[in-house]
């Protein structure tokens, strides 16, 4: 007997960052975070529950994955199988749609798409709120990719898994865009999981980070509700920098930056000083993301092309939440 689910999820970039878990097993974060879902980067995943299989099989971009990668997927599928009271194994086929050289293959879109596809294959019919708590247990940032536009992920209460989920805040259809400057597309040297733990355990700035991120969430939500782009950008840039400053305070210090990251940040500042509002944010890697007005995107791209190649500049508009796919999509 076979049962199939297919789902697309877009990646998201945090404007107020998540950097640290208070409960590692349940992926419960130290602070709430807020993101923008991007249209240009997404994952399509098909889950086929198949009673003739002896174990789960996982293909990523048509390449069969090894035991380590598959075990992660198996653990995740078990969250659904336990709820559905089944033990049926699955064949999982995932395709990352990321413009060549973007270096943004994202666990956020991956686990969000897997959650949506498994929900359909198991026939569990879970609501989006529950799906976001489950996606969270694959990868924290996946909690937010269930929805489109601006999305808030609540930190939740104590060790209560069901209290930490995402909600859509605003559809971001008011002149918002993002440009990714791909500085280096290789695999990151330090995983976000290890980087977070090292920061919590050793950075003397960590408690201030949590305090300031909590305040930033309130400020950015106000800016979003007032459609105040300048304040939105200023808080985004400041929050991202504070996260990286917290990491620099770790022992040994953590930095994901490369010389070209600094070059990109300086270029964005230069463009801003010329009168085009645009602001940077960075995650656990050297690539730089530029929050800007959608209507300014081409002009900003042209300025960035003075210092970077066409391949390195990837514009995106705002993405939607997860959607189920038909067989021919
Ligand atoms: O959930 P992960 O392992 O993808 O960690 C995400 C960490 C950051 O991208 C740096 C911040 C964030 O909130 O997405």
Annotated domain spans of the chain: 2-173, 177-316
Q: What pLDDT was estimated at residue 184?
A: 86
Q: Is the CB of 36 under 6 A from ligand 1?
A: no
State mean pLDDT over 78-97. Answer: 97
Over residues 203-236, the pLDDT tens digits come to 999 999 999 999 999 999 999 999 999 999 999 9
CA 277 – ligand 1 centroid, Å? 25
100 pLDDT above the threshold of 60: no
Fold classification of 177-316 (topology level):
Alpha-Beta Plaits (3.30.70)
For residues 181 and 312, is the Cβ–Cβ distance under 8 A?
yes
Over residues 39-85, the pLDDT tens digits come to 999 999 999 999 999 999 999 999 999 999 999 999 999 999 999 99
Q: Is the CB of 40 under 6 A from ligand 1?
A: no
Q: Which of 2.40.50.140, 3.30.230.10, 3.40.50.1100, 3.40.30.10 is the CATH number of 2-173?
A: 3.30.230.10
Q: Is the CB of 17 under 6 A from ligand 1?
A: yes
Specify which residues 36 forms β-bridges with. Answer: 13, 150
Q: Is the CB of 34 under 6 A from ligand 1?
A: no
Q: What pLDDT was estimated at residue 326?
A: 85
Q: Is the CB of 283 under 6 A from ligand 1?
A: yes
**And the tokens for 121?**
């294959």
Pocket test of ligand 1: the residue of 10, 17, 210, 282 to mutate, having most ligand atoms within 8 Å of its CB, is 17
Other beta carbons within 10 Å of 49: 24
For residues 143 and 135, is the Cβ–Cβ distance under 8 A?
yes
Over residues 12-44, the pLDDT tens digits come to 999 999 999 999 999 999 999 999 999 999 999
Confidence of residue 136 (pLDDT cuts 50, 70, 90): very high
State mean pLDDT over 296-308. Answer: 98
CA 291 – ligand 1 centroid, Å? 17
For residues 194 and 185, is the Cβ–Cβ distance under 8 A?
no
């Amino acid at each position: 007997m076979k049962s199939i689910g297919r789902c697309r999820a877009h990646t998201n970039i945090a404007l107020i960052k998540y950097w640290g878990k208070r409960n590692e097993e349940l992926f419960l974060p130290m602070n709430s975070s807020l993101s923008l879902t991007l249209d240009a980067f997404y994952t399509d995943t098909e889950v086929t529950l198949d009673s003739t299989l002896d174990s789960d099989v996982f293909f990523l971009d048509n390449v069969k994955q090894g035991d380590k990668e598959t075990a992660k997927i198996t653990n995740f599928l078990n969250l659904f199988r336990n709820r559905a009271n089944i033990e049926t194994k699955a064949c999982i086929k995932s395709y990352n749609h990321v413009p060549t050289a973007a270096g943004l293959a994202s666990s956020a879109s991956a686990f969000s798409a897997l959650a949506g596809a498994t929900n359909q294959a198991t026939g569990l019919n879970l609501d989006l709120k529950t799906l976001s708590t489950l996606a969270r247990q694959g990868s924290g940032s996946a909690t937010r990719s269930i929805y489109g536009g601006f999305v808030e992920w609540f930190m939740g209460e104590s060790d209560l898994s069901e209290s930490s989920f995402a909600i859509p805040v605003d559809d971001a259809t008011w002149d918002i865009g993002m440009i990714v400057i791909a500085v280096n597309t290789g695999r990151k040297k330090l995983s976000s999981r290890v980087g977070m733990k090292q920061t919590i355990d050793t950075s003397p700035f960590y408690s201030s980070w949590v305090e300031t991120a909590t305040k930033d969430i309130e400020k950015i939500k106000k800016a979003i509700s007032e459609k105040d782009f300048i304040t939105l950008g200023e808080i985004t840039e400041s929050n991202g920098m504070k996260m990286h400053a917290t990491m620099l305070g770790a022992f040994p210090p953590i930095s994901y930056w490369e010389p070209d990251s600094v070059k990109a940040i300086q270029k964005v500042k230069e463009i801003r000083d010329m009168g085009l509002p645009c602001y940077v944010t960075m995650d656990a890697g050297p690539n730089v993301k530029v929050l800007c007005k959608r209507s300014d995107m081409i002009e900003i791209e042209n300025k960035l092309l003075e210092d970077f190649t066409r391949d390195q500049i990837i514009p995106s508009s705002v993405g939607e939440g997860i959607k189920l796919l038909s067989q021919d999509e």
